């Protein structure tokens, strides 16, 4: 009898590669989720530290004070932020960008949930629904995301970077960014919220690509390969510094001019869409996905968008199940403020009312703006 040893060996190697790919996928998933937990928790720790300083009468950070440097809670938040960013950076070395980037929404969710418990901030019915939708969308994306990496080495990354499709995409990104920075920004940046967010988002697609390449370089260096002697590693590092500096600059401008509750969801949608487009062109992760997985990934992303919108757009509206029940009973009885003809409340009968903020809450919000940050899946950009 003749045994085809070559065929058996190649089949065994293929099986080992597939198992290793799945193992790396779950490592990257765990790192991405832990990154969101650390980053979301860091916001709460920082704000608790600033609130403690306010009670002591120290000069607020928004007024130029630096007393927070003596507050251990603030340092705990900073260390938590650093741990989250380190985990997020490492996640790109193991899992596809299509999976890691959208999971950045979980940091917003973690921050909202923890603030309702530790900062006594109100999480209304819309916020709770938004949290549930964000979890469902993230779960859907995890199930349908590509399980295997398309890039395994710096040499493979170099081949991908010179692909004509990516070169055209990179040129378009740079041209659009320069037009917005030099022409549109000076004219409409102070009045149009989309100007600075667009700059951050399109540049963010390139920064994620740089992070992906550097993650692979570090992974090779740990394995004992001379990755740091490869010129591509230093090109990616310098490109990342330039991209991140641009993003920090214009994101801080957007946060300074416009309401954070508006900047956060819009930036998430624009940035994630830009990164998914870049991943489809550079890494070609979508080519090996079936139609069901593509539809599932897009559906999960849209579900996260709706969840983030509900979490932020209606956070100043006081609505709960009990308030809705009271409103429905008044509507059925035809009570004042609820005409039976159209069921629309006019004055005090409606279950929706704007939250009345006290002076202390306004002060804490001002202090919170000094470190309001947005997780952008390749590094948190904060104004603190």
Q: What is the pLDDT of residues 190-246, one digit of tens each?
A: 888 888 889 988 998 888 888 888 888 888 888 778 777 888 888 888 998 998 888
Q: What is the pLDDT of residue 67?
A: 64
Q: How confident is the model at residue 317 (pLDDT cuts 50, 70, 90)?
A: confident
Burial class (CB in 10 A: 0-12, 13-18, 19+), 203: buried
Average pLDDT over residues 107-115: 79
Please answer whether residues 177 and 228 qualify as being in contact, where contact means their C-beta atoms are separated by less than 8 angstroms. Answer: no
Compute the radius of gyration of the chain from its Cα atoms: 24
Average pLDDT over residues 90-97: 81
- pTM, two decimal places: 0.68
Please answer whether residues 251 and 193 qualify as being in contact, where contact means their C-beta atoms are separated by less than 8 angstroms. Answer: no
C-alpha 83/C-alpha 89 separation (Å) is: 10
HEC secondary structure over the chain: CCCCHHHHHHHHHHHHHHHHHHHHHHHHHHHHHHHHHHHHHHHHHHHHHHHHHHHHCCCCHHHCCCHHHHCHHHHHHHHHHHHHHHHHHHHHHHCCHHHHCHHHHHHHHHHHHHHHHHCCCCCCHHHHHHHHHHHHHHHHHHHHCCCCCCCCCHHHHHHHHCCHHHHHHHHHHHHHHHHHHHHHHHHHCCCCHHHHHHHHHHHHHHHHHHHHHHHHHHHHHHCCCCCCCCHHHHHHHHHHHHHHHHHHHHHHHHHHHCCHHHHHHHHHHHHHHHHHHHHHHHCCHHHHCCHHHHHHHHHHHHHHHHHHHHHHHCCCEECCHHHHHHHHHHHHHCCCCCCCCCCCCCCCCCCCEECCCCHHHHHHHHHHCCCCEEECCCCEEECC
What percent of the chain clears pLDDT 70, i.e. is strictly above it? Answer: 74
Name which residue leads in pLDDT, 34 or 352.
Answer: 34
pLDDT of 319 > 80? The answer is no
**Other beta carbons less than 10 A from residue 308's beta carbon:** 25
Highest mean pLDDT among 44-53, 118-127, 150-159, 232-241: 232-241
Q: What is the pLDDT of residue 382?
A: 44
User: By mean pLDDT, which of 16-20, 143-147, 216-220, 336-340 is the weakest?
Assistant: 336-340
Burial class (CB in 10 A: 0-12, 13-18, 19+), 191: exposed
Name which residue leads in pLDDT, 105 or 231.
Answer: 231
Residue 374's nearest CA partner among 277, 214, 250, 237 is: 250
Average pLDDT over residues 21-41: 84
Contacts 24+ apart (CB under 8 A), 155-163: 157/212, 157/213, 157/216, 157/232, 158/232, 160/282, 160/283, 161/209, 161/213, 161/232, 161/282, 163/282
Average pLDDT over residues 299-327: 78
Please answer whether residues 120 and 364 qualify as being in contact, where contact means their C-beta atoms are separated by less than 8 angstroms. Answer: no
C-alpha 311/C-alpha 305 separation (Å) is: 10
Name which residue leads in pLDDT, 71 or 129.
Answer: 129
Average pLDDT over residues 282-305: 84
Q: What is the pLDDT of residue 238?
A: 92
Tokens of 153: 């080495």
User: By mean pLDDT, which of 78-82, 155-159, 311-315 is the weakest?
Assistant: 311-315
Name which residue leads in pLDDT, 221 or 54.
Answer: 221
């Amino acid at each position: 009898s003749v045994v085809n040893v070559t065929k058996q060996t190649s089949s065994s190697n293929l099986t080992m590669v597939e198992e290793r790919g799945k193992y790396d996928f779950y490592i990257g998933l765990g790192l991405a989720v832990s990154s969101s937990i650390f980053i979301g928790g860091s916001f709460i720790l920082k704000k608790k530290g600033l609130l403690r300083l306010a009670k002591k009468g120290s000069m607020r950070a928004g007024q130029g004070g630096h007393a927070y440097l003596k507050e251990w809670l603030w340092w705990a938040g900073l260390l938590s932020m650093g741990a989250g960013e380190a985990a997020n950076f490492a996640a790109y070395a193991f899992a596809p960008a299509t999976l890691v980037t959208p999971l950045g929404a979980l940091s917003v969710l973690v921050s909202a949930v923890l603030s309702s418990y530790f900062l006594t901030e109100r999480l209304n019915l819309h916020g709770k629904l938004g949290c549930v939708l964000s979890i469902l969308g993230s779960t859907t994306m995890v199930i349908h995301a590509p399980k295997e990496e398309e890039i395994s080495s710096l040499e493979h990354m170099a081949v991908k970077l010179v692909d004509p499709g990516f070169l055209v995409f990179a040129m378009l990104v740079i041209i659009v960014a320069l037009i917005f920075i030099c022409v549109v920004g000076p004219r409409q940046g102070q009045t149009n919220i989309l100007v600075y967010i667009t700059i951050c988002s399109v540049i963010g697609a390139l920064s994620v690509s740089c992070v992906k390449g550097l993650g692979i370089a570090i992974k090779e260096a740990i394995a004992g390969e001379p990755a740091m002697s490869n010129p591509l590693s230093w090109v990616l590092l310098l490109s990342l510094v330039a991209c991140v500096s641009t993003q920090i600059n214009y994101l801080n401008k957007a946060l300074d001019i416009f309401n954070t509750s508006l900047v956060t969801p819009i930036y998430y949608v624009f940035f994630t869409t830009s990164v998914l487009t870049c991943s489809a062109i550079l890494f070609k992760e979508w080519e090996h996905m079936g139609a069901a997985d593509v539809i599932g990934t897009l559906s999960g992303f849209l579900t996260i968008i709706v969840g983030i919108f509900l979490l932020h757009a209606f956070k100043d509206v006081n609505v709960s199940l009990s308030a809705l029940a009271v409103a429905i009973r008044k509507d059925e009885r035809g009570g004042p403020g609820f005409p039976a003809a159209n069921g629309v409340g006019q004055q005090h009968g409606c279950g929706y009312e704007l939250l009345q903020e006290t002076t202390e809450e306004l002060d804490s919000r001002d202090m919170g703006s000094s470190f309001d940050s947005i997780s952008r899946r390749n590094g948190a950009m904060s104004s603190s």
